[in-house]
A and B are shown apart, each in its own frame.
Chain A
Amino acid sequence: MNTELLGIIATYLLTLVIAIPLGIYLAKVFAGEKVWTDFLKPLETGIFKLSGINVKEEMNWKQHLKALMTINLLWLVYGFFVLIYQNKLPLNPDGNPGMSPDLSFNTIISFVVNCNLQDYSGETGLTYLTQHFVIMFLQFVSAATGIAAAVVLFKAFRDKSTEKLGNFWNFFVKSITRLLLPLSIVMAIILAFNGTPTSYQGKDKFISVQGDTVNVSRGPAAGMIAIKHLGTNGGGWFGVNSAHPLENPNYITNTVELVAQLIIPIAMVIAFGIFIRRRRLGWMIFGVMTIGMLMLLIPMVQSEIGGNPAIAKMGISQLTGSMEGKEVRFGPAISAYWSTVTTIISTGSVNSMHDSTMPMSGTWQMLGMMINSFYGGCGVGILNYFIYLIIAVFISGLMVGRTPEFLGHKVEAREVKIAALITLLSPFLILVGTALSSYILVNHPSAEWAVQPKTWLNNPSFHGFSEMLYQYTSSNANNGSGFEGLGDNNVFWNVTAGVIMFLGRFLPIIGPIAIAGLLGAKKYVPESTGTLKADTLTFSLMTFAVIMVLNALSYFPALTLGPIAEYFTLIK
């Protein structure tokens, strides 16, 4: 068991060793300073030329949002039709069918918004063409969208007072050429040499030692698995994601995939501090996020290592921890670490089945997604955290009776209103969604959908409720993991989760950018003795308290009905 805990510590330390220099590098890249990857400039110039983009053109916050929304809507339309007609397109060696419109609706939103909730299974639901030209493509560009949006926010606070926030296309393309693509190439090569397939050959067939005939799904997965983690996307090539032995063949690949998903979110926080020339603030935010992570990680590891008390009662040793839904080559400890990481940032890839984890682990997983800013997804983590910062500034201002200020800009009614609306949006979407599905489950159990409501749930009682709550929590957080027992490939789940994913992505991008744009354009107020300093320990604690109180008030009633109630039935 000790080698397993040692594995967690080593993995996290390795993450920091890579993430911190990466943050310093990113701050330079986006400030346009000299970096060693400048040899890629001709590639970028070529891309801009072919696309008719002049990167010298500075945009204000509204123009940034227009550019961002335009290209995202274009991807929605493009992908929707390609998925529906994938059976008529080339590169389909396994002869898989086209998607139904509702499934395509859900899938395309899911990947455009960096969520990667999957109501299909990769082996049978997609072709090699759509795996690459829709899924993997969107994994790159949705991550780059998030990073570029965060850089717009950085820009607003770099100078004392400005409306010019750089060029969106510039940030977007550089996120790919200077960050995502080079790292993906390195990682895909590591995966390939550890056994992840890279060739376009279709299914293979063999006769096993016992004499069974076995078909094996394969495909060029390594490249996609690299970006799915680096871009905090999480959508797997195979149905069971990184629990699949080809997607995640051994402990080395497991470590690489864990490190990869965490480095960019952490690097973005470090880069923020450096970019706006307030390093201390960057480290304070990093500190709050790390403490938050540990608060979720430690009890989760403990409950998974402890094993299932109901199976212990049957006299089976739980020395190896809870093993249902887990792989022997990883074990419960690093699987619990994975569960934590994948839910606090918005990856949502899994190396064990969350539906089968212990009840309290389910609580921590959902709470991680509800807070969604302990590091958080590629770029969007810091945008979410920014909303909490504004609320904390506002409340602190009320407490001392002064007009609140953030980094030298007055925070006034308009900004606070936007922040409050974004804060309320998450509980609204999650709780209304869960209430609606519960209502239908009880009152229309035989509705004529592909999966009838009465067979939606794979588990009875409290755990069944958790399956629905988890699905909407994951959709809203753009996380994409699931309690996969839920029968979600039908028109109800595809459409409702699709709508929630869409709103849960774009409003929390538009809100922070609008606030940052408005604040950045305001007159700079020089610091005085009465200024609220954002980079102090006191204010960091205040922010942490705001995060905890807001989320506790919003979600504890629902969590009590699900995983917490199940926990008490299990130990009684």
Chain B
Amino acid sequence: MKKYIIQSVRLTAVLLVLLCVIYPLFIMLIGRFTKGEGGGEKIMKDGKVVGYAAIGQSFTKPEYFWSRPSAVDYKADGSGGSNKGPSNPEYLKQVADRIDTVLKYNPTVKRADIPADLVTASGSGLDPNISEQAAKIQISRIATIRKLDESKLKDLIAKNTEKPFLGLFGPSKINVLKLNVALDELGK
């Protein structure tokens, strides 16, 4: 028994060095050669960092494309979903309210055209994406406020739509931050 204890202690010490010092430092070194140099890829606008490409941020002003609802309000020093069950009456009321808000700000949009992702909270609370449909129903509102041609916005959305991986696998999506940065450029 005593033999196993001593062997366990020594083996644990050796493995701590291998797995917790050498391994992560090696990965860190390699990470230096990636796009964000291991700290995450940043998005710049007018020479300033306005966010991370991967991390969604709150867009609630009517002149921007809105992001999805978030259970943590896009506070990126935490993360979280709503964890509401599908039959929870309180939750369903919240969804109904969100639908009303969307309809209020986008009077030309029909109820049946609202996609589910625009009225439900994401898993992380930091979802950087919305669906194509979620962007399309906001065109009319943004065009009116910014006095832009709707066709220009349509092109902008088409340009910013990321197709399924290799055109074959998974959903297509739009990065809201990149879309809105491009939208501000358009107005200039």
Contact = CB atoms under 8 A, between A and B. Distances in A.
Interface stretch (A22-30, A131-139, A284-292, A505-513): A131-139
Contact of B28 (A133, A198, A208, A310): A198
Contact of A209 (B4, B9, B177): B177
Given A74-B9, A220-B24, A4 B171 contact: yes
A216 B104 CA distance: 32
B105 interface: no
Contacts of B170: 3-4, 7, 251, 254, 329-331, 334
Given A210-B58, A214-B57, A245-B124, A356 B81 contact: yes
Interface stretch (A236-244, A382-390, A550-558): A236-244
Contacts, number: 372
Interface of A: 3-4, 6-7, 10, 47, 50-53, 66-67, 70-71, 74-75, 78, 121, 123-124, 132-133, 136-137, 140-141, 169, 173, 176, 181, 184-185, 188-189, 192-193, 195, 197-201, 203-204, 206-210, 212, 214-218, 220, 222-223, 238-240, 243-246, 249-252, 254-255, 307-308, 310-311, 314-331, 334, 350-353, 355-359, 458-463, 466, 483-485, 566, 569-570
Contacts of B10: 50-52
A243 B123 contact: yes
A14 to B, nearest CB: 10
Nearest to A197: B40
Among all A-B residue pairs, the 4 with the closest Cβ atoms: A198-B31, A485-B83, A243-B123, A463-B85
A325 B31 contact: no
B55 A193 contact: no
29 contacts: A6-B168, A52-B10, A53-B11, A66-B1, A123-B78, A137-B19, A141-B15, A169-B7, A195-B35, A195-B53, A197-B38, A198-B31, A204-B40, A207-B50, A208-B50, A208-B58, A215-B75, A216-B55, A255-B165, A317-B112, A319-B115, A320-B117, A325-B82, A326-B122, A329-B127, A351-B123, A353-B83, A357-B86, A462-B87
A327 B79 contact: no
Interface string B6-43: 11111110111011100110111011101111111110
A318 B61 CA distance: 26
Nearest to A192: B31
A251 B87 contact: no
Given A185-B23, A200-B28, A334-B170, A137 B16 contact: yes
A185 B26 CA distance: 9
B117 A323 contact: yes
Most buried by A among B95, B115, B120: B120
B119 interface: yes
B123 A326 contact: yes
A6 B167 CA distance: 11
B7 A53 contact: yes
B24 A197 contact: no
B28 A323 contact: no
Interface in B153-188: 164-165, 167-173, 177, 180-181, 184
A136 B19 CA distance: 8
Contacts of A315: 99, 111-112
A239 B95 contact: no
Given A66-B1, A193-B34, A328-B117, A246 B165 contact: no
Contacts of B130: 328
Given A140-B19, A322-B86, A324-B84, A212 B11 contact: no
Given A201-B39, A315-B111, 12 more contacts: A3-B169, A7-B169, A132-B24, A169-B7, A208-B51, A209-B181, A209-B184, A323-B122, A324-B91, A355-B84, A566-B85, A570-B86
Contacts of B60: 210
Contacts of A184: 23
Contacts of B79: 121, 123, 217, 238-240, 243-244
Contacts of B12: 71, 74-75, 78, 141
Interface in B46-60: 48-60
B76 interface: yes
A307 B15 CA distance: 47
Contacts of B96: 314
Given A51-B11, A71-B11, A223-B27, A355 B131 contact: no
Nearest to B53: A195
Contact of B38 (A198, A314, A331): A198
Chain B residues touching A, range: 35 or more
B128 to A, nearest CB: 6
A252 B54 CA distance: 14
B38 A192 contact: yes
B166 to A, nearest CB: 9
Contact of B123 (A201, A327, A461): A327
B129 interface: yes
A144 B72 CA distance: 36
A199 B171 contact: no
Nearest to A565: B87
A254 B122 CA distance: 16
Contact of A459 (B23, B59, B84, B99): B84
Contacts of A308: 86, 116
Contacts of A220: 24, 27-28, 31, 38
A307 B114 CA distance: 14
A358 B57 contact: no
A461 B88 CA distance: 9
B27 A197 contact: no
Contacts of A123: 77-79
B78 A71 contact: no
Contacts of B167: 3
B38 A207 contact: no
Contacts of A141: 12, 15, 19
A322 B116 contact: yes
Contacts of A207: 48, 50
A238 B119 CA distance: 24
Contacts of A124: 77-78
A238 B76 CA distance: 10
Contacts of A133: 16, 20
Contacts of A189: 27, 30
Contact of A244 (B87, B111, B126): B126
Nearest to B54: A245
Contacts of B127: 245, 327-329
